[in-house]
Structure 1
Amino acid sequence: MDAAMELSLPVAAQPSLDDVVSLAVDAEAAGYERVWLPETWGRDAVTMLSLAAERTETVELGTSIVNVYSRSPALLGQTAATLQEASDGRFRLGIGPSGPAVIENWHGQPFTQPLRQTRETVEIIKQVLSGEPVEYAGDHFDLSGFRLRCDAPEPAPPVDAAGMGPKAVELAGRFADGWHALTFTPDGMCERLADLRRGAEMGDRDPENVRVTLSLPCCALEDAEQARSLARQHLAFYIGGMGTFYRDALARQGHADTAEQIYDAWQAGERGTAVAAIDPLLDDLAAVGSPEHARERLAAFGDIDGVDAVSVSFPRGADAEEIETTMVALAPDA
């Protein structure tokens, strides 16, 4: 496998903050290159990454992702600078718009112009991290008269953007230092990588300098059917229950009928039907099953030309033992 091996810490199933941070310590020992921390509606990413930075020494750390609506761009820049200092230069900031289900129903903010919001946020964060006075006039933000009130981080942490649609991926290629991808088949990744290259060229940038990270649901258990069942439930929840973004992303990859079937069944409360409909695509969306089969599928995603890193993520229903077992089975040093 050519891509780097990374790990996304679980946002569920961990009973305490210490349990989550301990997984970062274990990931470092197992040889994972970077630990990502998603932020949804549980523990916040900044506190957990601060503790992880204190308890680890070499593993890289990052957010994948924090949304661009609940914190101002300037605060995101301050946060990136602080976490870069706390980690002795090991931090990478991943941001994205998330979706209306979270932004409107949890944060109480209007989910408006997500592409423009993301672009302006990236541009402002980069100004903040430069240490120079921030002067910015955009559609969403108008900033003037302040600069970072501490030394600018050296080096400045990279700023990545998440996205699933063609324009969102093009934006990442044009303005960000990397792209975070999720819920893609191998063929779907290849299509969106063309959008990334086009965006980089529009920004007069070398596409090779835009780092691509694929977050991949993984579960490697001796009970292969349990692993696959957990992944089916996880994918059905996102495609069927988290708004229309995941549904639409799957449809764009040539699986519109399956995406609609999952979404319609989930919305109708027919969860079993939604979960079963995932099965024909399971191996194209995840690396799950026996340890041998999961490693084989993980390697296939890591060999996609243009993917720089694959981040092992976990089904939302996996318990602590299943997470630990998967992490060990798929570790680079295994």
Structure 2
Amino acid sequence: MSRWGITIPLTGVPLPRHRELIESLPGLGYTDAWTAETAGTDAFSPLLLASQWAPELRLGTAIVPVYTRGPGLLAMSAATLAECAPGRFVLGIGTSSPVIVRNWNAAEFTDPYARTRDTLRFLRSALAGEKVTQDYPTFSVEKFKLERAPETAPPVMLAALRPGMLRLAAKEADGAITNWLAPSDVPAVRAETGPDLELVARIFVCPTEDADAARSLGRLLISSYLTVPVYRAFHDWLGRGERLAPMHEAWAEGDRKRANEVIPDEVVDDLIVHGSPARCRERIKSYVDNGLTTPVISVLPTGGDPIDQVRALSPSA
């Protein structure tokens, strides 16, 4: 397998405690470390630390919302990381969700496709060191030029779920980033991107042989995420609409407990990798066998030490 990524920081592990683990990742067979950005750490700070702790790793954001930073600040943050990890940083951007953008960051969530497209185009110019004056359909920039443009502009990937954004990624970006899909879903995504675009996916992994515990945690996550409209539409497109309809009905009625209970086991098993570490590694590999370029493991808490679990899930274990 060419790439094998991990999501940092690990749940419940203080950021400074990551140093020893991150230094060991290349020796364990990991090639990538990726961050997310919701209400925990920001996406850039853990990668700045990792850039100094493990110079061999490729580092990526999956993803930074296009609404929560101004275009110039987003370019500055990306340029800073590109300077610290020359040739090893990937900027992943996306729309995020109305909850994160509007409810938590007091920003407008409008025209997500257009805003993502315009931000991508701005970043292409800005990270190349150009002075940008442009009226984009969703925002305007006047005379912006990075004072410390990176020697090599980092690749820019797009968070993409359904055909429109996947095609935009294939046409204008350096890759597509997705999540919440099963190995059997990868060909449908690949059909929109074509075979050559790098396709990254965050894969939720619960390394325990207690299937009931893994499914219980999986149901909580599925009901929290897949009731968000963009993910609901994604799974309708993938063909899970009928199986998830009872969950959506219960959620709309405010019955969170029932929403979890009515998620079928087979849906949980499709979307959450669980079992022994060896079983989990096999399942992750099946994503690659179906067309995924870069699996990025997100270790779910099982009560064990997540650092030990990262080691157990490594491709060289």
> Do both proteins adopt the same fold according to a TM-score greater than 0.5, normalized to the shorter chain?
yes
The Cα of 1:10 is off from its aligned counterpart by: 4.5
Measure, in 1, the Cα distance between the counterparts of 2:247 and 2:274.
20
1:221–1:322 Cα change, 3 Å: farther
Measure, in 1, the Cα distance between the counterparts of 2:172 and 2:261.
37
RMSD across aligned positions (CA): 2.1
User: 1:244-323 residue pairs with structure 2 within 5 A?
Assistant: 244-267=229-252, 268-271=254-257, 273-305=259-291, 307-315=292-300, 318=301, 321-323=304-306
SS in structure 2 at match of 1:69: coil
Residue 313 (structure 2) pairs with residue 326 (structure 1): no
Given that residues 35 and 60 in structure 1 are in contact (C-alpha distance below 8 angstroms), is that contact kept between their aligned partners in structure 2? yes
Give the equivalent residue in structure 1 for 2:143. Answer: 145
User: 1:134-173 residue pairs with structure 2 within 5 A?
Assistant: 134-150=132-148, 152-173=149-170
Give the equivalent residue in structure 2 for 1:183. Answer: 180
The Cα of 1:26 is off from its aligned counterpart by: 4.1
1:27–1:236 Cα change, 3 Å: farther
Could you tell me the TM-score, scaled by structure 2's length?
0.91
Structure 1 unmatched ranges of 5 or more: 198-206
Give the equivalent residue in structure 1 for 2:53. Answer: 55
Give the equivalent residue in structure 2 for 1:5. Answer: 4
The Cα of 1:229 is off from its aligned counterpart by: 3.2
User: 1:177-256 residue pairs with structure 2 within 5 A?
Assistant: 177-197=174-194, 208=196, 210-240=197-227, 243-256=228-241
Measure, in 1, the Cα distance between the counterparts of 2:152 and 2:303.
36
Measure, in 2, the Cα distance between the counterparts of 1:270 and 1:157.
42
Given that residues 8 and 46 in structure 2 are in contact (C-alpha distance below 8 angstroms), is that contact kept between their aligned partners in structure 1? no
What is the aligned residue count? Answer: 316
Residue 26 (structure 2) pairs with residue 28 (structure 1): yes
Could you tell me which amino acid in structure 1 is paired with residue 224 of structure 2?
Answer: F
The Cα of 1:165 is off from its aligned counterpart by: 1.6
1:179–1:219 Cα change, 3 Å: same
Measure, in 1, the Cα distance between the counterparts of 2:127 and 2:154.
8
The Cα of 1:303 is off from its aligned counterpart by: 0.7
Partner deviation per Cα, 1:132-190 (whole Å, 9 max, x = no partner): 2213221122223232212x323211000001121111111111111001112334321
Given that residues 216 and 311 in structure 1 are in contact (C-alpha distance below 8 angstroms), is that contact kept between their aligned partners in structure 2? yes
Measure, in 1, the Cα distance between the counterparts of 2:49 and 2:205.
25
Measure, in 1, the Cα distance between the counterparts of 2:189 and 2:245.
21
Residue 140 (structure 2) pairs with residue 133 (structure 1): no
Could you tell me the TM-score, scaled by structure 1's length?
0.87
Give the equivalent residue in structure 1 for 2:35. Answer: 37
1:86–1:319 Cα change, 3 Å: farther
- Higher mean C-alpha displacement, 243-252 vs 263-272: 263-272
Give the equivalent residue in structure 2 for 1:201. Answer: none
Identity %: 32
Query: 2:99 pairs with 90, 98, 101, which one?
Result: 101
Could you tell me which amino acid in structure 1 is paired with residue 46 of structure 2?
Answer: M
Measure, in 2, the Cα distance between the counterparts of 1:179 and 1:326.
27
Given that residues 246 and 262 in structure 2 are in contact (C-alpha distance below 8 angstroms), is that contact kept between their aligned partners in structure 1? no
